Structure 1
Amino acid sequence: MEWVGEWFGRARINYLHPQKSLNIKEKDGKSRTLAEICKSTVPPCYLNPLLFNGHAQTMWTAAKAHGPPLHYKRRIFEADHEEFNGSYVVDFAVTDPVLIKEHEADETLPPRTAYFSEKELDNMGSDDERPMLVILHGLSGGSHEIYLRYALAPLIESGKWEACVVISRGCANSKITTGLLYNARATWDVRQTVKWLKKTYPNRPLFGLGFSLGGCILTNYLGEEGSATPLKAAVVVGNPWALNISAKMLQKTFIGHHIYLKVLGDAMKALASRHKDELDKYTNIDTDNLLNLKYLYEFDRAYQCATWGYPTEEAYYRDASSSDSLLAVRIPFLAINALDDPIASSMALPEAEARHNPWVVLCTTSLGGHLGWFEPNGGRWHGKPISNFLNHMAFEVDLDSIDNGVNVKRTSGVPESGTNFDPMRRKMHVNLNK
């Protein structure tokens, strides 16, 4: 455990990892541990002292409406999973001058976004070796989110990276063709996207980045895939980890209950309202009641339980949490959380799990709120460690030399007693390959 002092907006930074962190060979022939790489790529955290706590940092996101003007083109995918069929979309970051002007984007989509043309879709694919980043956004968000663009912009503007954002079903003006939206265990769309990218761009090293609920989904995906994932490294930011703990902590305080849970509930109600026709057609949910609910946990009770078969929202939260999934991650993995995050509670941090897995480093800052990290100059600190770490992994590391844990069992227990622990054994069974 290592601490840096805190004063007037300077946040303390702490790292949690095993004593024997993953050993990684770099292109210059030297070897460094994952922990050493993370500590060298995470810069000091100097934040705006006027935004002096997690609430101020979190709420300032709503007040600060601008960010790097990234542009996207959207592709519609038909899901290949037998049970979780329907369509979903992926937004690809582009530098195409056609999309530079706001009025040339599609007005039915988020800002600076348009659909690929049929010709462009037919010509997708290449043999280039440019690193490609696969991003998962937060609850009810999309590729347009400011926190996401602050992290992605430095990579795209460098001219060295490609990137895409997997849009959770129904989000960011996407359409659904079934009664399914998404939840924290909904890993099949990112799985299909990663497989498609690997086939379409066979020489591109793939990396992952997840924010908030998207960080939970990405961690769950990596736990399910283990050493089989094509991703080379990943970063998750503001992951709520143990959803049941974060939910309880929110309900315990007035501001958590009546502001955050209401705002999050309103966001999900707005999402359901946009897709009311599909929900009425494909589910037995009482949508009139659904749209009159107030808090996020009420929405989860009425929608997630009815759609996915959980008896209570607490059962869903426990089953969809990603704390145990962290034990099964088998690629270099950097997690970043703020200890004063009022939504992803520090009480839910998987500290013991981070100390157990050599592929993992958990970095915490004492300040920052939920996906805030506002600096005095108006920038966002979290974009710096993200781009530093990913650039180092993509361009400085010998990726082929990384031990991905193929020969390492992801279970634990007492074999002589016949006991066994599988971190990915869920209570709700999902056939991922069906």
Structure 2
Amino acid sequence: MTIYTTFGFWPAVLSTLLVLYASVMPSPLSLLRRLLSRAETTYHHSPNGTIKLRLKDQSEGTTRLVDFSKFVSNLLPSCNLNPILFNGHLQTIWTVAKPGDNVPIYYKRRIFDQEDQGYAGSFAVDFVVDPYDEAEARAKATAETSSLAEDGGERDTGLPPRTTYLADAEWKVLDQGDSESITPMLVVLHGLSGGSHEIYLRHVLYPLVYPSDSSPTRQKWEACVINSRGCAGSKITSNILYNARATWDVRQVVRWLKERYPKRPLFGVGFSLGANILTNYLGEEGSQCPLQAALIISSPFNLEAASLSLQSTFVGLNIYSRAMGSNMKKLIDRHSREITQNTKVDVEAVKKITYLHEFDREIQCPTWGYPTEGAYYRDASSTDSLLAIRIPFLCISALDDPVNILLFLSSSIWCFGQAV
């Protein structure tokens, strides 16, 4: 949900002391701690109203229409943050530094060849499956898989944990589809240089793909993650990388799913850069969009504003932009042979990349024909795509997110949809 925290310095110090003290004291202090950890959540939607959702009443067997914005505000719980993590910087650091990895999602991977030769290359799609023995599954995939298209059939051993390839027999079953399946399915896009292994993504997937007996509906969902080219241990097989409006791989996967599983309701989820890509896809599809609804989390929306914001502060430039630039440069280094096939890319300039905007200047601009990174940002931003979306669409953002600085937004949660 979109979060706005009101912590100042002394309230943060007080709340930290209370957290430590409450660990040995009775419940009143625990209550006070919860009050201090409460964050403000605000909702914004089209002033012309939002679409009506048709909800089923399982007990009475009836249906009723509910306004989308009211449905969201009634559904989301109050936001209670850890008072020790009193700003966006600490929350961001904690997601990286906290010990343990107790959200195991298991995947089987398939390599798709892009059908549109204007965007030639291959990309990896990870399908969520039931838990399996990793060593046994990898051995089976190696022995039985002859159709790995990556890098001329070369098998990539650098896959993320709990991920292996679909064996030929497994892929045959998946590719045949099921014309009667009505199981809901998520199509997920990760953030910049991330992948299906990212902890934030797995936290969202886990209760849906592995529901517990205590789940409200116990409805098991299917899900797949579309990895951006070169991410999550995949290989780049052409000189075409991906960018902030790289909707072509998403479009192919969604079309494939609708052809094989025509009765399945499909839902999109995007994080960060993947949220921007998904928003652009929804806008391009408009009223013909095959997805039933979509959720985006921490979208930059206005890439130019976000980039200028990062460059305007010491922390933004030298911590966040530097880290993201470093991650993208590592991706390029791993696939330098393919990327440098583009003669417009200045190899020496690429070696000097430090910040994210420098990566966009030296890689994205020559690859896609933009004169400057500003021109790229303005063209790839998803702000204009918002008005063309014609399905239920929920955006969740934190106003104190240090990376996703929404300069042009005054809202926290946006609910879009054509009014009826």
Do both proteins adopt the same fold according to a TM-score greater than 0.5, normalized to the shorter chain?
Answer: yes
- Aligned pairs for 1:166-181 within 5 A: 166-181=226-241
Kindly indicate whether residue 380 of structure 2 is the aligned counterpart of residue 320 of structure 1.
yes
Q: Name the residue aligned to 1:74.
A: 109
Contact kept, 8 Å, 1:71 with 1:100, in 2: the verdict is no
**Equivalent of 2:402 in 315, 320, 342:** 342
What is the alpha-carbon distance in structure 1 between the residues aligned to residue 41 and residue 251 of structure 2? 32
Q: Name the residue aligned to 1:16.
A: 44
Report the Cα offset of residue 292 of structure 1.
2.4
**Equivalent of 2:203 in 138, 144, 150:** 150
Report the Cα offset of residue 96 of structure 1.
4.4
| Residues 174/12 of structure 1: CA separation in 2 closer, same or farther (3 Å cut) | same
CA deviations 1:353-407 (Å, max 9, x no partner) are 958x5459xxxxxxxxxxxxxxxxxxxxxxxxxxxxxxxxxxxxxxxxxx7xxxx
Report the Cα offset of residue 3 of structure 1.
10
What is the alpha-carbon distance in structure 1 between the residues aligned to residue 45 and residue 181 of structure 2? 35
What is the alpha-carbon distance in structure 2 between the residues aligned to residue 139 and residue 180 of structure 1? 16
| Residues 234/354 of structure 1: CA separation in 2 closer, same or farther (3 Å cut) | same
What is the alpha-carbon distance in structure 1 between the residues aligned to residue 313 and residue 412 of structure 2? 26
- Aligned pairs for 1:144-293 within 5 A: 144-158=197-211, 160-293=220-353
Report the Cα offset of residue 157 of structure 1.
1.0
Amino acid of the structure 1 residue aligned with 2:263: N
What is the alpha-carbon distance in structure 2 between the residues aligned to residue 350 and residue 316 of structure 1? 24
What is the alpha-carbon distance in structure 1 between the residues aligned to residue 384 and residue 378 of structure 2? 10
Whose Rg is larger? 2
- Determine which structure has greater relative contact order: mean sequence separation of CA pairs < 8 Å that are 6+ residues apart, divided by chain length: 1
Report the Cα offset of residue 40 of structure 1.
1.9
Kindly indicate whether residue 73 of structure 2 is the aligned counterpart of residue 50 of structure 1.
no
**Equivalent of 1:27 in 42, 56, 64:** 56
What is the alpha-carbon distance in structure 2 between the residues aligned to residue 3 and residue 278 of structure 1? 41
Give percent identity, aligned residues only: 51
Report the Cα offset of residue 211 of structure 1.
0.2
What is the alpha-carbon distance in structure 1 between the residues aligned to residue 412 and residue 322 of structure 2? 32
| Residues 266/303 of structure 1: CA separation in 2 closer, same or farther (3 Å cut) | same
Amino acid of the structure 1 residue aligned with 2:331: L
Amino acid of the structure 2 residue aligned with 1:121: W
What is the alpha-carbon distance in structure 2 between the residues aligned to residue 151 and residue 226 of structure 1? 26
Report the Cα offset of residue 152 of structure 1.
0.5
| Residues 100/49 of structure 1: CA separation in 2 closer, same or farther (3 Å cut) | farther
Cα-Cα RMSD:
2.4
**Secondary structure at the residue paired with 2:117?**
coil
| Residues 77/292 of structure 1: CA separation in 2 closer, same or farther (3 Å cut) | same
What is the alpha-carbon distance in structure 1 between the residues aligned to residue 3 and residue 273 of structure 2? 27
What is the alpha-carbon distance in structure 2 between the residues aligned to residue 131 and residue 349 of structure 1? 32
Amino acid of the structure 2 residue aligned with 1:185: R
What is the alpha-carbon distance in structure 2 between the residues aligned to residue 53 and residue 191 of structure 1? 37
**Equivalent of 2:164 in 114, 118, 137:** 114
- Aligned pairs for 1:296-375 within 5 A: 296-349=356-409, 351=411, 354=414, 357-359=416-418
| Residues 67/272 of structure 1: CA separation in 2 closer, same or farther (3 Å cut) | farther
Amino acid of the structure 2 residue aligned with 1:34: F
Report the Cα offset of residue 286 of structure 1.
2.6
What is the alpha-carbon distance in structure 2 between the residues aligned to residue 136 and residue 349 of structure 1? 23
Contact kept, 8 Å, 1:187 with 1:218, in 2: the verdict is yes
TM-score, reference length from structure 2? 0.81
CA deviations 1:88-142 (Å, max 9, x no partner) are 1100011043449898798420111000001111111223110000000000000
What is the alpha-carbon distance in structure 2 between the residues aligned to residue 94 and residue 279 of structure 1? 33
Which blocks of at least 5 consecutive residues in structure 1 are unaligned?
Answer: 361-402, 404-434
| Residues 330/338 of structure 1: CA separation in 2 closer, same or farther (3 Å cut) | same
Report the Cα offset of residue 4 of structure 1.
9.6
